[in-house]
Chain A
Amino acid sequence: MEDFYFSRRFVLKALLAGTATSFIASSHALAASASCSDKIVRVAGIAAPDTMNPFATWASFWPTTFTYDVLVGVDAQRHPDRQGFAKEWSVDDKELTWTFKIWPGMKWSDGKPATAKDVAFTYEYLKKSVGTADELNVGWNNTSGMEQVQSIEVVDETTLRIITNKPTRWPVDNTIMIVPEHIWSSVSQADARGTFRNDPPLVGTGPMIVAEFQQGQFARLTPNTHFRKGQPEIAGLIFRFFPSADSIAQGLKSGDLDYGMNLTAAQWTDLSKDEAIVVGQGRTEARNYLAFNTASGKGAGSTKALQDEAFRDAVGYAIDQKTIAERAFRGHADPGVGLVMPAATNYYSELKDIKRHFDLEEAARRLDAAGYKDADGDGIREDRDGNKFQLELITGTTSGTIETPLAAVQLVAGWLGQIGIPASVTQLDPGALDARTASPEQGGGSWDLLISGGWLTPSAPDLLVLGEADNTGNNSYWKSGEFEQLISEVKSTADIEKSKALVDKAVRLIYQDAPYIILAYPFMLDARRKDCFQGWGTADMFSMWSYFPFDRLKAI
């Protein structure tokens, strides 16, 4: 039989040729992937920045936080080696006038002087937009808190004075990135709010400057030759953006990445077995909670019991936060207690004297006492209107950038079932969850229970946001005049001790009224390779609030 086209020999040759080609293409000799010799740090996280304009978007935090400094911010108050634009700061006795000393001789990455004028420009840029159609209220750099600023005064090139209307910690707590006046003065507020993309190369005072940005892929940063503490030793940084942590874990294993964050517990455990990798975990300001829909009228849940403090309190006894932290988060979370998480060290309290303890029988007793009994003995309780409980528990897939394990949701639903309050779980994507948890006026509501989470700064007003009336972050729709009063006082207090006392009072109030049961404070799980760089430090390796101190990172 004549085989013109398809002789076995021909097939064999073709297969061999294909294999050889793929082998050659894959050889390390042609590899252009990561190696230690280029001294470029390769970092990855779950992020999706759309532009590099901090006035237009929140998503540009990574990587612009390496390029722009904040004036003081959270990190500088925690770590002596992580100051931002200001070297020192102080407040007068009346707690109204703040004085900031800017680093003397500091320069922008393009060599121009970076002075107090740039800080004043950035704040005025925001302040002037307040109340206009183009108010800069949509991005990371936003006008929130500006209403408390009475005046901003440039005393000299290295001295800035901010006078506030009332005592507030906003001048040191705000996270506004300081931008250069000589670049941004030609950008209108309307453009800054909307279409100005702030394409690289950027001009900043941070250690690493964004030199290239490929949307959906990576940002390439180069060392700031004018950095105030001297040019970082590393040759550059590549920050890769991923939609999920799978690729991050793979990249760490294959040696393509030096550092990765946003890992899941399973990936973290797997990576911890790799000898070339050091895993780490850090406390964050994230908190996961169970919220009750306390709305009455429009957007209310399926039963009025949700509006009853006694019902919510009783349910609180059926939630075992320790088990959630240990089993659902595999130990990578602190058990939830109150609104304040352990990472907010200034304000955290274990609430030992009023803390509920997991006790299903106690939960059942309290439900009975509050009038939510199982009259017909079928294992399902009835509310005061005689209707059987069948609650809808909605949840999303992530909390901030930390995944909420579905196991936590299942545990909660299981315990509720055991006390005679069955709950069906609906898992929604972020868009749908946002729509359903919007305020009733905006078409949200009509759910019963919600398991969600959030991640804000450890400043006092942010810690209390969950209970603030009419704030979009208040997912339980709970309102309390007393709590509002406390928030108002917190916002006009600069003294840390006074602030602590007010926060503690507010935290206790909302804990006892129980519109939320805090489930856990999840950790940020990260990992780094040992082979290329040293000096990562041990705690807070990658701060979520300002630049990572690249000046201390060295190639091996």
Chain B
Amino acid sequence: MSGGVRGPGGHHVGQVVFRAVITLLMVGVLNFLLFRVIPGDPAAMLLAGARSSVTTEQMQAQRQSWGLDKPLVPDQLVSYLSTTLQGDFGYSFKFRGKRVGELIIERLPETLALAGLAQIIAIIFGIFLGIYAGWRRGGVIDNLTTGTSLALYSTPPFWLGMLLVVGFSTMLGWLPGYGSYSPGAGDGSFLAGLIDRLRHLILPVLSVALGLIGQYVVVARAAMSDVVTEDYMVTARAKGLTNGQMLRRHAFRNALLPVVTLITLNLGYVVAGAITVEAVFAWPGIGSLTVEALNARDYPVLQGIFLLLGASIVFANLIADLIYGLLDPRVR
């Protein structure tokens, strides 16, 4: 990413895009092989509920209907690559021939709402608190913020989620502990439906956001701590700048560099980052879909999801490369 070869603007972008395409191709092939290495037969999984009365012939028929009876290489691989290159991710085993693209598009908004909102909240609070703590090193708020952040950063989000469910849903009964909306909540009015959705979002978003806030605080504080000891800060003070002016004009922008890197990298994980939290809250997003597909050895769905994850991370790196150049002219 940021350590790559850099040339004049256009050449640089071309190189980055080329690398991204190659990476995605490799991800595609790896995805095909990776899931097939895991022991398990999708045909048997499809008939799992009925396994005890399924004959060998029925199992074979099931394999044939999904093309699993053909040789893995080259038949299945070639067929997968050619359709994927045409933008067709194939059909789900588990969801009885539903298009993988459709399935992902159905679930994506739920994950984007959860992980995206968590990121926004984390970015705002994390940077704000981190910069403040770094600016006021050694103060009460710094000590409090840093300690709490380290604790949150090192807490697994799913565990935090479980604690939040027990506290705010089971014990206090304030917020729903699972699902993305109550069945029938939107029947009355749009507002009631919206409020219901927001209520369902609070705990899962907090589970993801709190850990991320910790992460941003730690990085932003460290960056700010470095910046405030720089010579140009002393010069700024000597020039008679106020604290606010020093912070806005010099410290803040410089301290932002590592934070921006972290943000762009994290954005790449927006789609993938909430899998465990989705499992805790039975959230019907990409994470739950991944778990369902994995349990059913639904290869086309897994391939589609992991290609999407790969693409979002590659894209985030691309953005990081470009933004970095804007923030710091030296890396252009």
* Residues in A lying within 8 Å of B, measured CB to CB: 1-6, 8, 11, 22, 25-28, 30-34, 40, 48, 50-51, 53, 56-59, 61, 135, 137-138, 140, 142, 144, 193-195, 197, 212, 214-218, 220, 236, 238, 240, 242-243, 246-247, 250-251, 253-256, 428-432, 434-436, 438-439, 441-442, 454, 456, 462, 465-466, 470-473
7 contacts between A and B (CB under 8 A): A5-B132, A11-B141, A26-B174, A28-B174, A215-B95, A247-B282, A439-B56
Q: Which residues of B contact A214 (CB under 8 A)?
A: 183, 284
Q: Which residues of A contact B67 (CB under 8 A)?
A: none
Q: Which of B170, B177, B185, B243 contacts A1 (CB 8 A)?
A: B243
Contacting pair A26 B96 (CB below 8 A) = no
B179 to chain A, nearest CB (A): 6
Contacting pair A251 B178 (CB below 8 A) = yes
Distance in angstroms between the alpha carbons of A435 and B36 in the assembled complex? 12
Q: A194-B65, A215-B95 are in contact. Are A4 and B247 (CB under 8 A)?
A: yes
Contacting pair A26 B177 (CB below 8 A) = no
Most A CB atoms within 10 A — which of B41, B131, B135, B178? B178
Instruction: Tell me the B192-213 residues at the A interface (CB within 8 Å).
Output: 192, 195-196, 198-199, 202
Residue B291, interface by CB 8 Å = yes
Residue B84, interface by CB 8 Å = no
Q: Which of B45, B55, B95, B244 contacts A434 (CB 8 A)?
A: B45
Distance in angstroms between the alpha carbons of A217 and B291 in the assembled complex? 14
Q: Which residues of B contact A430 (CB under 8 A)?
A: 40, 45, 48, 295
Distance in angstroms between the alpha carbons of A246 and B166 in the assembled complex? 11
Q: Which of B58, B175, B177 contacts A137 (CB 8 A)?
A: B58
Q: Residue of A at shortest CB range from B245?
A: A4
Q: Which of B59, B61, B65, B196 contacts A32 (CB 8 A)?
A: B196
Q: Residue of B at shortest CB range from A26?
A: B174
Q: Which residues of B contact A471 (CB under 8 A)?
A: 52-53, 55
Q: Which residues of B contact A25 (CB under 8 A)?
A: 195, 198-199, 202
Residue B329, interface by CB 8 Å = no
Task: Write the B125-138 contact mask toward A (1 if CB under 8 angstroms, else 0).
Answer: 00010011001100
B285 to chain A, nearest CB (A): 9
Contacting pair A465 B195 (CB below 8 A) = no
Contacting pair A473 B44 (CB below 8 A) = no
Q: A11-B132, A32-B196, A238-B183 are in contact. Are A432 and B202 (CB under 8 A)?
A: no
Contacting pair A216 B51 (CB below 8 A) = no
Q: A216-B284, A250-B177, A431-B297 are in contact. Are A456 and B199 (CB under 8 A)?
A: no
Distance in angstroms between the alpha carbons of A236 and B48 in the assembled complex? 31
Q: A30-B199, A438-B44 are in contact. Are A3 and B282 (CB under 8 A)?
A: no
A428 to chain B, nearest CB (A): 8
Other A-B pairs beyond A6-B135, A138-B58, A465-B53, 14, CB < 8 Å = A4-B244, A25-B195, A32-B196, A137-B61, A243-B279, A243-B291, A250-B166, A251-B177, A254-B177, A256-B169, A256-B176, A435-B41, A442-B41, A466-B52
Distance in angstroms between the alpha carbons of A466 and B52 in the assembled complex? 8
